[in-house]
Amino acid sequence: MQKLRILLIDNSILASEKIAQGLLLRLPAGSLVEKCLSAIDAQSKVELFRPDIILMNFALAVFTINGNPFLPALIRRTHLPVLTYGLLATSAESARALGAADYIMKPEDSADGAFLSTLTLRAVAIAEKHHPPKPLFAPGDMVTRDIWTNTRQAPPHITPTAKAAPGSIRNKMVKMSPIAGKPALKEQAKPAAQKCTGKCLRLIAIGSSTGGPDALSQIIPRLSPPMPPIVIVQHIPATFSALFANRLDGECSLHVKEAVNGEHLEPNTVYIAPGGKHMTVVNEGGRLRLRCMEGPRVHNCAPSADVLFHSVASAVDNRDVLGVILTGMGRDGAAGLLEMREQGAKTLGQDEATCVVYGMPRVAYEKGAVERQLPLSKIADEITRIARAK
């Protein structure tokens, strides 16, 4: 069996804990099980956790969001297999009709060994059918040095490299030779960080919420050096901000990291606010620095886009700043982005047609905080154009 990432959706804390523990005892080493208690929670976690398969209590599968059953909407959105379970045998037909890959009867005791073994084996079989195991690498593949050195003994002329600091060559790749699976001598690398030759933007600040992880995954990988520091507030649970930053970092030519309190901002680096903490920018003798601190929730959010944007408006000459507000529920970010614009910042907002939830961008646009609205597919190009036009 291959190791799996499983998202478990069950509205019972006790049941989900028992099922998660039982799965981890039976799954291959290195497998992960992430729990969520509601359909709303699942929508954000599926974007951040990137599971191979979803396991769901059928009672939640028929939960309605905007008048639509949750299960088919989740399948359409994620294109992932969903294995359901429940107490009633009569629910099996309904589960499959809604799009579930299968349905398993669950006894009253969620820790029942036979149930957990069946659930594990069925989850593995469905996940492997949906994601067939692939060879780690084949002739002509591009393989990161981390993968190469972690899976077989590196030849003497190849030494594992730790992740370098921003601005240096990172993530070197080795092209596999078609002969005996040995690495060819030619290496390719992400381009080294470049510096602006003219007057560049000094800072880019972005706020996003519901649907934001997917939106950021389409924007940030399309940005390349030279870029000013980018600070991002994504409404996100504390356990997921570092995971999200690490995943983005593997997809980008910019360096992406979870922000650390007190660190100075560096070009070609993206800072994701830690979940549960407000992130602000302060100016210390001309150098920009981050503060990441716990504090009262703003618009019921921590981190808050408004907190970040207000700090940017105070800390930097906003004529050298770009503010961006993306998909999200509520009004967080609108007031802070308006202050940035009034201080001279250029501002962009995601348009209604491409938002998962057109809440934050709508409020910001109606308040006059957004200079231009753009579809998601054009935001990265516009950020690049503004950054290079200075």
Q: Chain-wide mean pLDDT for the chain?
A: 82
Report the C-alpha gap between 276 and 181 in whole angstroms: 46
332 classed as catalytic: yes
Predicted local distance difference test score (pLDDT) of residue 138: 52
- What's 208's domain CATH number? 3.40.50.180
Assess whether 306 and 237 both reside in one domain.
yes
pLDDT tens-digit readout, 30-45: 899 999 888 777 877 8
pLDDT tens-digit readout, 2-24: 789 999 999 888 999 999 999 99
**Of the residues 91, 106, 130, which one is the last residue of a structural domain?**
130
Token reading at 185:
């001598």
Residue 157 contacts by C-beta under 8 Å, 6 or more apart in sequence? none
Domain region containing 102? 5-130
Catalytic position from the list 208, 209, 241, 253 = 209
- DSSP lists the bridge partners of residue 33 as 6
Assess whether 52 and 168 both reside in one domain.
no
Burial zone of 90 (CB within 10 Å; 0-12 exposed, 13-18 middle, 19+ buried): exposed
Predicted local distance difference test score (pLDDT) of residue 168: 38
Assess whether 122 and 150 both reside in one domain.
no
280 C-beta neighbours (distance < 10 Å), count: 22
209 classed as catalytic: yes
Biggest CA–CA distance in the chain, Å, is: 69
Residues in the chain, pLDDT under 70: 1, 64-67, 132-199, 390
Assess whether 255 and 330 both reside in one domain.
yes
Report the C-alpha gap between 184 and 175 in whole angstroms: 6
Does residue 136 lie in a domain region? no
Assess whether 159 and 245 both reside in one domain.
no
Catalytic position from the list 52, 235, 249, 278 = 235
Assess whether 328 and 381 both reside in one domain.
yes
- What's 15's domain CATH number? 3.40.50.2300
79 classed as catalytic: no
pLDDT tens-digit readout, 226-237: 999 999 999 887
Does residue 195 lie in a domain region? no
Catalytic position from the list 52, 249, 332, 351 = 332
Assess whether 320 and 217 both reside in one domain.
yes
Assess whether 171 and 299 both reside in one domain.
no
Assess whether 374 and 259 both reside in one domain.
yes
Does residue 162 lie in a domain region? yes
Assess whether 105 and 212 both reside in one domain.
no
Give the full edge-to-edge strand order of the sheet including 102-105: 32-36, 5-9, 53-57, 82-86, 102-105
SS in 3 state form for 123-167? HHHHHHHHCCCCCCCCCCCEEEHHHHHHHCCCCCCCCCCCCCCCC
Assess whether 61 and 178 both reside in one domain.
no
Assess whether 377 and 352 both reside in one domain.
yes
Does residue 342 lie in a domain region? yes
Does residue 135 lie in a domain region? no
**Of the residues 130, 150, 179, which one is the last residue of a structural domain?**
130
Per-position b or e across 14-37, b if 16+ CB within 10 A of its CB: ebbebbbebbeebbeeebbbbbbb
Does residue 46 lie in a domain region? yes
**Listed residue (57, 44, 354, 313) closest to 205, CA to CA:** 313
Does residue 197 lie in a domain region? no
Does residue 194 lie in a domain region? no
Are the CB atoms for 211 and 357 separated by under 8 Å? yes
**Listed residue (386, 312, 324) closest to 355, CA to CA:** 324
Q: How many domains, in total, are found in the chain? A: 3
60 Rama sector, left if φ>0, alpha if ψ -120 to 50, beta otherwise = alpha
